[in-house]
Amino acid sequence: MQNLVKQVLQHNIRAIAKAISLIENGIETRKKETLIDTLHPHCGHGIIWGITGPPGAGKSTLLNRLVEQLRHDNKKVAVIAVDPSSPFTGGAILSDRLRMQKHATDDSVFIRSMASRGHLGGVAGATGDAIKIFDAAGYDHIIIETIGVGQTEIEVMELSDIVLLVLVPGLGDEIQALKAGVMEIGDIFIINKKDIDGADRLRTEVEYVLNLKNGGENRSRHPVIMTSATLNEGIDEAYSVIQSYYQILVENGELAIKRKERIEKELKYIAVTKIKESMDKFLNIDDKLDRWIEEVFQKKVSPYKLLNKKISEFLQEIDWK
Ligand SMILES: Nc1nc2c(ncn2[C@@H]2O[C@H](COP(=O)(O)OP(=O)(O)OP(=O)(O)O)[C@@H](O)[C@H]2O)c(=O)[nH]1
Ligand SMILES: [Mg+2]
């Protein structure tokens, strides 16, 4: 494991791929903890972007363009396509969904897909670990693409420093989507496919909703940009808006706040998981459950009383102060 970590830190592509596969395939807890803990001091340099929006909105086409700009600035980029609905692909590249063939041979662009099925801690956990691997390995930008806006996607987007929400005209249900709370997760709103009808109207609607959210008086602080990813229009603007938005987050301290909120979530998650694990082990719930059910059913004991007793026994056992 230490050797693998060393190679990851040296930006060895094969080691990075291997580390991510280990996470994806669910290695032993102890090994995973060593991996993540050893990488931790080397994390924090990479900028994490999320890009989300309805299927077919042009997220990948747009991302492809933005990656071109990042490469032009000589940045190393990792892209993770998260697909909560599909099974593991064993790390296969979703080149179709990603439309990133152009970058597929570039060593400084690492493209990876992740799926959630059967993953302990959900896809958000696996994605979070993958982000740490890329970050420690020295990628300057780590970009996560998800489709749609279900709960899992929101959790994944919460791993980002900046979320780009890509919207397109002509879906018919734009406004419903905006009302459904989707707007909450976006930092920067991109109206893509500005070359088709309805883009201007959608922009007005989006700005209206954003200003409402802002109390209806001041202009919202969230930029709304129009692009045509296929025609390569508005990309320069999008790129510079993203950069200045990030700069503001750094300067006004919001980035640190966001990152601390992520650490808080992570710590709570680890705490709950670990407490649950040790409780399960001590209480041996699965084995005793039938007996407890019977006792509660027979009214020999009430549920709270039973579990409070078990838990205080547990706390005594571990000498809880
Ligand atoms: N007219 C027009 N078509 C676009 C534009 N951007 C993307 N497309 C097309 O829209 C289709 C979907 O593009 P993708 O980039 O795969 O969209 P996506 O949001 O990544 O799709 P999923 O990952 O499947 O959700 C493709 O046929 C693109 O060529 C645009 O600005 N204008
Ligand atoms: Mg895509």
Q: Per-domain residue ranges for the chain?
A: 44-252, 267-317
**What fold does the segment set 44-252 form as a domain?**
Rossmann fold (3.40.50)
Q: What is the DSSP letter of 73?
A: T
**pTM for the model:** 0.87
In this predicted structure, the answer to whether residue 160 has a pLDDT above a threshold of 80 is yes
Mean pLDDT for 143-147 is 88
Give the number of the atom of ligand 1 that is nearest the alpha carbon of residue 81.
Answer: 23
Mutate which of 96, 197, 230 to test ligand 1's pocket (most atoms within 8 Å of Cβ)? 230
Would you state the structure tokens that stand for residue 271, as one six-digit string?
């705490």
What pLDDT shows up at residue 175?
56
Give the number of the atom of ligand 1 that is nearest the alpha carbon of residue 64.
Answer: 15
Alpha carbon of 68 to those of 10, 65, 71, 85, 108: distances in Å? 24, 5, 5, 29, 11
Q: Whose CA is nearest to atom 9 of ligand 1?
A: 58
Dihedral sign, CA of 173, 174, 178, 182?
A: positive
Which of 46-55, 123-132, 279-288 shows the lowest per-residue confidence on average (mean pLDDT)?
279-288
Would you state the structure tokens that stand for residue 115, as one six-digit string?
């799926």
Give the number of the atom of ligand 1 that is nearest the alpha carbon of residue 63.
Answer: 15
Q: Whose CA is nearest to atom 13 of ligand 1?
A: 58
> Which residues, at least 6 apart from 193, have a Cβ–Cβ distance to it below 8 Å?
57, 58, 168, 169, 170, 199, 228, 229, 230
Give the number of the atom of ligand 1 that is nearest the alpha carbon of residue 96.
Answer: 16
Top-confidence residue, 155 or 141? 141
Dist CA 245 CA 47 (whole Å)? 12
Exposure string (b/e) for 107-118, b if CB count within 10 Å is 16 or more? ebbbbbbbbbee
What pLDDT shows up at residue 112?
87
Instruction: Tell me phi and psi for residue 275, to 5 degrees.
Output: -60, -45
pLDDT in tens, 81-100: 887 555 444 344 444 445 55
Q: Whose CA is nearest to atom 32 of ligand 1?
A: 193
Helix axes 254-279, 235-251, angle to 10 degrees: 80
Q: Whose CA is nearest to atom 25 of ligand 1?
A: 55
Burial of 98 (0-12, 13-18, 19+ CB in 10 A): buried
pLDDT band at residue 185 using 50, 70 and 90 as cut-offs: confident
Q: How far is the CA of 59 from the centre of ligand 1 (A)?
A: 6
Burial of 207 (0-12, 13-18, 19+ CB in 10 A): middle
Q: How far is the CA of 295 from the centre of ligand 2 (A)?
A: 54
Mutate which of 60, 61, 111 to test ligand 1's pocket (most atoms within 8 Å of Cβ)? 61
Q: Whose CA is nearest to atom 23 of ligand 1?
A: 97
Q: Which residues line ligand 1 (CB under 6 A)?
A: 55-61, 97, 99, 147, 192-193, 195-196, 228-230
Shortest CA distance to 111 belongs to which of 27, 17, 7, 238?
17
